[in-house]
Amino acid sequence: MVVNSANPSLGEFDLIDRYFARSKTATQRPDVILGVGDDAALLRVPADTELVVAVDTLVAGRHFPPDSDARSIGHRALAVNLSDMAAMGATPAWATLALTIPAADTHWLDGFSAGLMNLADAHGVALVGGDTTAGPLTVSIQILGVVARGSALRRSGAQAGDILAVTGTLGDAGAGLALVTARLATPDGAVARELVERFEYPTPRVSFGSRARGIASAAMDLSDGLVGDLPKLATASGLAAHVDVERLPMSRAMLSLVPAAQAREWALAAGDDYELLVAVPPRRFDELAAAARQLNLTLTAIGELRPGNGVTWALEGSPFTVPVHGYDHFR
């Protein structure tokens, strides 16, 4: 495709060459037989593995404020895909990028490519191809990873009696987004920075996902909020889920910012946290929590899986009505 460049000196192929053909990792990974530059990439998949594939799209104005920092957009576009690999217990290896931009703005591209490439290099992921088109800002990344045959984590593996647990803290990204969009303000600069960072630069839990293979019975990542996502895991496993809302892990930063009821609402439903939700047999919980600790991550039990279907919520032992629903693009 041809980019209608606002800057005539930077055409489509110069743009690709300058920003996306120089993935450090792509030149280092021996399994990249052909990367950017041909009609398609050629990758060598190890014989004893399964290929794990996911794609996620970020649309300006829908997944991030249109005036977001370009570096954050690049980071998030890859982070949400790495999070899908984490949820499968897979090791991410390669990615392709379909980038639609209104203009070939070099200032924007500098930031975007730095955000994307820094995170890719940090995870040893090679950018091996893509497509560049002119149009409303939309970033679509396809991620490819590998997992030892038969060992991927699924949503469907949970058993009745398993503990439900989440990594990290929930709701911070929702609080960060409220700060970014100026629906909320705080004089505490450190708190604001911490929460905004959680929205703009989420940390995909790739190492933890890997460690959870063979211990957790089911996993998924939390992109749409617990209220929206937990029913998907429960339904896939053919079970009911119960959550004690007072156990939800929430950051000091978020709790210092708003009343507990608002914090709880963000933790339940704001989404964009990219923490992992796992089901784990009770006898193996300590082992998984220890693995998390080694990664400087907390793992918090929030409830359990039970025979039946549907999700029930309790606060201090009383039934709790969840205030809001998870994100759905078409509702």
Asked if 299 touches ligand ADP (CB under 6 A), the answer is no
Quote the least distance from Cβ 206 to ligand ADP, whole Å.
21
> Interface with ligand ADP includes 303 (CB under 6 A)?
no
Among residues 5, 20, 152, 178, the one that binds ligand ADP under rule CB under 6 A: 20
Calculate the CA 91 to chain-centre distance. 14
- What are the E-state strand segments in 74-152? 91-101, 126-134, 138-148
Residue ranges in 72-131 that form contacts with ligand ADP under rule CB under 6 A: 97, 99, 127, 129-131
Sole binder of Mg ion in the list 17, 38, 131, 287 (CB under 5 A):
131
- Stretch in the footprint of Mg ion (CB under 5 A) among 10-18, 29-37, 125-133, 277-285: 125-133
80's CB contacts (< 8 A; 6+ apart) are: 56, 58, 141, 202, 204, 223, 274
User: E strand or H helix at 33, and its extent?
Assistant: strand 32-34
- The amino acid at residue 154 is R
Give me the residues paired with residue 218 across strands.
279
Angle CA(178)–CA(184)–CA(189) in degrees, nearest 5? 95
By beta-carbon proximity to ligand ADP, the closer residue of 14 and 197 is 14
Contacts of 13 (CB under 8 A, 6+ apart): none
Q: 290: which residues sit within 8 A by CB, 6+ positions away?
A: none
Smallest distance, Å, CB 5 to Mg ion? 16
Rounded least distance, CB 59 to ligand ADP, Å? 16
Smallest distance from the beta carbon of 1 to Mg ion, in angstroms? 6
Q: Are strands 218-222 and 126-134 parallel, antiparallel or unpaired?
A: unpaired
Cβ distance to ligand ADP smaller for residue 132 or 223: 132
Q: To the nearest whole angstrom, how small is the minimum distance from the Cβ of residue 18 to Mg ion? A: 17
Should residue 132 be labelled a site residue for ligand ADP when binding is judged by CB under 6 A? yes
What is the nearest approach in angstroms of ligand ADP to the Cβ of residue 35?
8
Beta bridge partners of 230: none
Rule CB under 6 A: choose which of 6, 27, 33, 38 binds ligand ADP: 38
Task: Report the SS3 class of residue 303.
Answer: strand
The residues of the shown chain that bind ligand ADP, judged by CB under 6 A, are 1, 16, 20, 36-39, 97, 99, 127, 129-132
The residues of the shown chain that bind Mg ion, judged by CB under 5 A, are 131
